[in-house]
């Protein structure tokens, strides 16, 4: 997830939240269906706090209309700072289990699979700090807290028939702790029978010591590609050496790859720092369009790519919006055309 984005999304979500008492009666969960391999035409769905049911239904219906057959739902728990071992849900940020179950069941009713992605949100950050630089004084205590967090959602995922579960996202400073991760993944497999992945950061893949324990290699893809006015053909060429590096990494483990996040804000200059939520600039929907189109041309047809999740379907969108959503922007047509194919 682009750094700092969750706080802004939580503020935007204030207009959409409601108490969990308005949730109504949930339908019964759908059992996990056919688990055979296919290309997951994915979209990250923004679910924040206790979102109104009408918002969830409307947004998921829109996502399905794109040709999407799978959604990723990101679930944050909060830690105070990078030195804290405490991780807990936050009432203004973390969706309730009830609203999460509703979203999963709605997605299943619409014929979409679900990738559930719990992740750590750091409330207070210093210069150069983010969840990739966690440094608690006691790693054993940290993994105990983190394990409780992950196993809660792994069990919920099994109950709801979720197909894919991510055990973590962009936790770079933890990734060399192979035994801790393998122990946690083993515990997850004790309660969850779907496919297990982990979202590695685009610039920190080689330290993923526990990759062999995963069913799918996961990665976000906020790669820096070039200049703002670069044509599509130049952007496609920029992907060439990146694809070679990613393939070398993937082939070391002999596993298929799933891009758990890829996205671009529609602001001028996003081509050079698509990961940077805090950057400002004029609205640039055509730059976002070129980045989406170049991504499709570069990655489409990759035999080892099992799925893509564009970040993210959230908010009003439209040509004046500078955020990540492709909603109501030229980039939306790229998604529709790609996902309409086989």
pLDDT, tens digit (0-9, with 9 covering 90-100), for 133-159: 999 999 999 999 999 999 999 999 999
Crossing angle (nearest 10°) for helices 285-299 and 232-253: 40
Residues contacting residue 46 through CB under 8 Å, at least 6 positions apart: 9, 13, 59, 312, 313, 314, 315
Instruction: Give the model confidence (pLDDT) of 247-294 as tens digits.
Output: 999 999 999 999 999 999 999 999 999 998 888 999 999 999 999 999
Instruction: Give the model confidence (pLDDT) of 67-100 as tens digits.
Output: 999 999 999 999 999 999 999 999 889 999 999 9
Closest by CA to 77, choosing from 125, 149, 130, 127, is: 149
Query: Domain 5-17+38-339: what homologous superfamily?
Result: Glycosidases (3.20.20.80)
Mean pLDDT for the stretch of residues 289-311: 96
**In angstroms, rounded to a whole number, what is the distance separating the alpha carbons of residues 295 and 136?**
37
Closest by CA to 328, choosing from 269, 266, 261, 280, is: 266
Confidence of residue 25 (pLDDT cuts 50, 70, 90): low
Supply the pTM of this predicted model: 0.91
Mean pLDDT for the stretch of residues 29-49: 77
Torsion of CA 185, 100, 42, 207, to 10 degrees: -30
């Amino acid at each position: 997830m682009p750094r700092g984005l969750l706080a802004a999304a939580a503020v935007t979500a204030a207009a959409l939240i409601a108490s969990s008492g308005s949730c109504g009666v949930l339908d019964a969960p759908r059992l996990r269906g056919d688990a055979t391999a296919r290309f997951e035409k994915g979209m990250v769905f923004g679910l924040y706090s206790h979102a109104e049911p009408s918002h969830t239904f409307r947004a998921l219906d829109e996502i399905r209309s794109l040709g999407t057959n799978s959604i990723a739902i990101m679930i944050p728990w909060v830690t105070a700072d990078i030195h804290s071992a405490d991780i807990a849900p936050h009432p203004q940020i973390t969706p309730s289990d009830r609203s999460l179950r509703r979203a999963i069941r709605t997605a299943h009713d619409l014929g979409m699979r679900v990738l559930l992605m719990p992740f750590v949100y750091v409330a207070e950050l210093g210069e150069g700090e983010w969840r990739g630089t966690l440094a608690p004084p006691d790693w054993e205590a940290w993994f105990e807290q983190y394990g409780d967090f992950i196993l809660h959602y792994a069990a919920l995922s099994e109950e709801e028939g979720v197909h894919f579960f991510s055990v973590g996202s962009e936790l770079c400073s933890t990734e060399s702790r192979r035994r801790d991760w393998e122990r946690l993944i083993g515990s997850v497999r004790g309660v969850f029978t779907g496919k297990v992945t982990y979202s590695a950061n685009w610039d920190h893949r080689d330290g993923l010591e526990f990759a062999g324990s995963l069913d799918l290699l996961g990665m976000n893809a906020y790669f820096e590609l070039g200049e703002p006015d670069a044509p599509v053909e130049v952007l496609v060429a920029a992907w060439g050496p990146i694809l070679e590096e990613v393939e070398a990494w993937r082939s070391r483990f002999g596993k298929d790859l799933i891009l758990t996040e890829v996205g671009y804000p529609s602001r001028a200059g996003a081509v050079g720092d698509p990961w940077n939520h805090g950057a400002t600039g004029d609205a640039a929907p055509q730059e976002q369009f070129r980045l989406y189109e170049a991504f499709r041309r570069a990655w489409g047809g990759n035999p080892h790519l099992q799925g893509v999740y564009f970040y993210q379907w959230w908010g009003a969108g439209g040509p004046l919006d500078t955020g990540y959503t492709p909603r109501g922007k030229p980039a939306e047509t790229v998604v529709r055309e790609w996902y309409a194919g086989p």
